[in-house]
Structure 1
Amino acid sequence: MSMLWSVRVGLGVVALSLSVEVFVWLYHRLRPARTLNEVLFFPSEVSCVENLFKASSPHSCHCPLPHRVETSFSRLLCHLLSASSSLDLCIFAFSNLDLSRAVLALHSRGVTIRVLADQDYSVITGSQIGVLRKAGICVRGHVGSVHMHHKFAVVDGRLLITGSLNWTLTAVQNNVENIIITHEPDLVLPFIKEFQRLWVQSEPDWCHFLSN
């Protein structure tokens, strides 16, 4: 009887162990993927971001800025550079050289890029819109009696980057600003629709003079 009891207990332990393993396996298989929700605040700490653009050793850049420091700006660049298929950018002011470099890097990798810009602000000194256009990136100017004041990007049709931040050096380093980054479909989809609505309404030939 004692031996039979021991066998039963042993089998019970094994069954319980297997049940736990099956439960854990099912949990990891069936649970929904974690949705990304991230908030970034500015001004951002100034640091070197060279490592984000190329695989380099920590000592390959000799600039005086701190290296390999995670900041709000480096996080923004990482999310932007994560694009693998498409980037739709709707931006009022765009003069930040590192953000321009990121968009150009995506273009060189074959990512499909569409940029929607405010007509008036795109031609001011320092604007990177003409640079993007000359690189062959599709750019359209918003047509209307009011400014196109949006500041958002949709990465791969599923990641939204939006907030108060203009893509300028002053906004990144000096202004109190915010950015929200999310995969939430209920938030991403309205921005996709808004981009498409403005894209259709905007002037496809307006940007040709930026190449001159």
Structure 2
Amino acid sequence: MFGYHRDLFAMWSTRILKLVGIFILSALGLELMAVLLRYNRKKRTKLQEVLFFPSRVTCVYPSLYVESGKCGCKRSHADSSIMRLIRHLLSTRQSLDLCLFSFTDTELSSTVVLLHQRGVRVRVIADSNYMALNGSKIGILRKAGIPVRHDQSRAYMHHKFAVIDKTVLLTGSLNWTSQALLENRENLLITNDEALVKPFLDQFEELWEEYDPTKYNF
């Protein structure tokens, strides 16, 4: 009988030791994963770029409609601020949140519609006054099926920013208009600094909720 209890004790002791070992290894594995995630975040390429406008007039056709090569038009195909802006936008894979006072540029609206057609979740917040002016592209975006919300105040919704895939921020003085792109002195900061991106994400979500059409009172 004593031998039986001794064997039983040894068996359960072995099982408990195995469970403890598995628990320790699992804990170490989780800690290692957390360390790797923190390392990868730090290792992620830091993006900090500033674009100045007015931009040179360049052809954006290859970026929007042609996989490679030039379109053959007589416009310059050299690098420019507007080309770099469009390339950043075309890098979007999952979501694009736009909060824009004025949006009248055809090439930028074509870029946004193209992203929507690719399956990117596009949301737009606009100013109620300027979205109704002649030349505004908000109607085109809505017709394409892109959700747009706007303020209901006499004060301007004067923001000018975009967030790509919730990780890259584009913000500055630049309205998305042809005049701003090609004539005005403007600036655009592009960064993936999480400390800067998050407040803009929070602001977008706050306005998106505030401008819910079910809450309009006119």
Shorter-chain TM-score category?
Answer: 0.7 to 0.9
| Offset of residue 54 of structure 1 | 2.7
Cα displacement string for residues 69-101 of structure 1 (whole angstroms, at most 9, x for unaligned residues): 111110000111111000000000000000000
| Offset of residue 138 of structure 1 | 0.6
Which amino acid in the other structure matches residue 127 of structure 2?
D
TM-score, normalised on structure 2? Answer: 0.77
Q: Which residue of 2 is the match for residue 45 of structure 1?
A: 56
Alpha-carbon distance in 2 for matches of 1:185, 1:30: 10
- The answer on 1:137 being equivalent to 2:146 is yes
In percent, how many aligned pairs have the same letter? 47
Unaligned runs of 5+ in 2: 1-38
Alpha-carbon distance in 1 for matches of 2:180, 2:125: 19
SS state of the match for residue 178, structure 1?
A: strand
Q: Which runs of 4+ in 1 moved over 4 A?
A: 28-31
| Offset of residue 56 of structure 1 | 4.6
Taking a change above 3 Å as real, the CA distance of residues 200 and 173 of structure 1, as seen in their structure-2 partners, is: same
Taking a change above 3 Å as real, the CA distance of residues 186 and 132 of structure 1, as seen in their structure-2 partners, is: same
Q: Which residue of 2 is the match for residue 62 of structure 1?
A: 72
Alpha-carbon distance in 1 for matches of 2:129, 2:48: 33
TM-score, normalised on structure 1? Answer: 0.79
- The answer on 1:175 being equivalent to 2:184 is yes
Unaligned runs of 5+ in 1: 1-27, 208-212
Alpha-carbon distance in 2 for matches of 1:161, 1:40: 10
SS state of the match for residue 201, structure 2?
A: helix
Alpha-carbon distance in 2 for matches of 1:82, 1:29: 20
Taking a change above 3 Å as real, the CA distance of residues 174 and 29 of structure 1, as seen in their structure-2 partners, is: closer
- The answer on 1:127 being equivalent to 2:136 is yes
Pick the structure with greater CA Rg: 2
Count of matched residue pairs: 178
- The answer on 1:202 being equivalent to 2:214 is no
* 8 Å CA contact 1:92, 1:166 repeated in 2: yes
